Amino acid sequence: MASSLGRKRTHAPKGSSALNDDVSCEVCSGGHSPSKLILCDKCDRGYHLFCLRPILPYVPKGSWFCPSCSNHKPKSFPLVQTKIIDFFRIQRSPEALSNQEGSATLNTVVEEKVKLGGSDLKVSGVGIGAWSWGDTTYWNNFEWNDRNEKAARAAFNTSIDGGLTFFDTAEVYGSGLALGAINSEVLLGRYIKERKEKDPEVEIEVATKFAALPWRFGRQSVLNALKDSLCRLGLTSVDLYQLHWPGVWGNEGYIDGLGDAVEKGLVKAVGVSNYSEKRLREAYEKLKKRGIPLATNQVNYSLIYRAPEENGVKAACDELGITIIAYSPIAQGALTGKYTPDKPPSGPRGRIYTPEFLTKLQPLLNKISEIGEKYDKTPTQVSLNWLVAQGNVVPIPGAKTAEQAEEFRGALGWRLTDEEVPELRSVASEIKPVIGFPVEKL
């Protein structure tokens, strides 16, 4: 089979978009109805925009890459899609097309934003967790400096450029009680303000969380904390407000506070986090009486921590129409393949992901890498895609750098096969899971 890439044609003037019977789409070879082509002003090849969409999901209006030469012609803001471009080159190259037999075909999909539960709020299929931003107690080797902040800002902007517009933070991330810390909400608010000054039309979905501290009582404590969070974020409302963990003295007042926040227009949707099946159902029913949907339950969920599947939380969420937001979806880096028994993570993570655990993890990492190599995907992208494949799940990996944010984007736009999803679960089931967040059992 001959490839159309690399074949010179007689085109319209470079850099133009025109109806021209002499110009063929490099993807479909003119197989669709006649339509205006986007013509690259560098290599002189043309494409239907709708032919590029399955390959370059989330391309902003007016911005695109030429899959043949990687020429980038932005009219709005820069876009980083190198992983997707590399896939396109591999799939369409003469070498790949002449060796189709026995090779894996990527199951590409056009990603759309995900509706959170029964709410009207829609977010990107993968979000970004901001737990590490400003933190000096668990992340960043116990210090936060200008270099860290510059990297976090780049991660924020790269995420948005790649279509990942959903950010999750909390009032306790980067707590002021920790030496040298900067509140994560403050940083996120700063980055949002800077971005909107450059691009006022940019869409960003923000989620934050209420800390159910023992000395906080009743619905008013939720509203007071929310107003403080809005002040730190520099916003008049947030898209999603969540109870970070169950309350020690009960949750009825907190749930009432969530409902009040919706009715006052301070939030678009509400959720909980680290809630058991029993507490989840109670919160759902209490809000339902006010006509307010419980949109989400944010829980620890990954290939090597599948407690939500085992304790009834995932089944209850599917039954009630509550979306799971998966935190630590790549097990705080353990599923990236970055760490080995000889080089475990530093800091508190090293006490969880020990050399002994990482040794037992190796067979799963080998299987993840084996599957990823078939599709030119990294272990991180495969692990995140596995969660997306569960349905009704939005993973929120933490991005400390632009490179990480760019890699996370590659988890979307394709799907593991129906055989690969259970195969990974089967291999992962041989590994004893790490300890989760204690409040999950409250």
> What amino acid positions are annotated as catalytic residues?
173
Q: Distance of CA 137 to CAs 66, 134, 436, Å?
A: 44, 10, 18
The DSSP line for 32-60 is SS--PPEE-TTT--EE-HHHHTTTSTTPP
What gap in Å lies between CA 377 and CA 435, rounded to an integer? 28
Cα 135 to chain centroid distance, Å, stands at: 20
How big is the chain, counted in residues? Answer: 442
- Residue owning tokens 């399955």: 54
Query: Two tokens at 145?
Result: 């400096």
CB burial of residue 391 (10 Å; 0-12, 13-18, 19+): exposed
Q: Which of these, 420, 326, 399, 435, lies nearest to 151 by C-alpha position?
A: 399
Exposure letters 88-107 (e unless 16+ CB within 10 A, then b): bbebbeeeeeeeeeeeeebe
| Contacts (Cβ under 8 Å, ≥6 apart) of 439 | 245, 246, 274
Instruction: Name the pairing type of β-strands 122-123 and 114-115.
Output: antiparallel
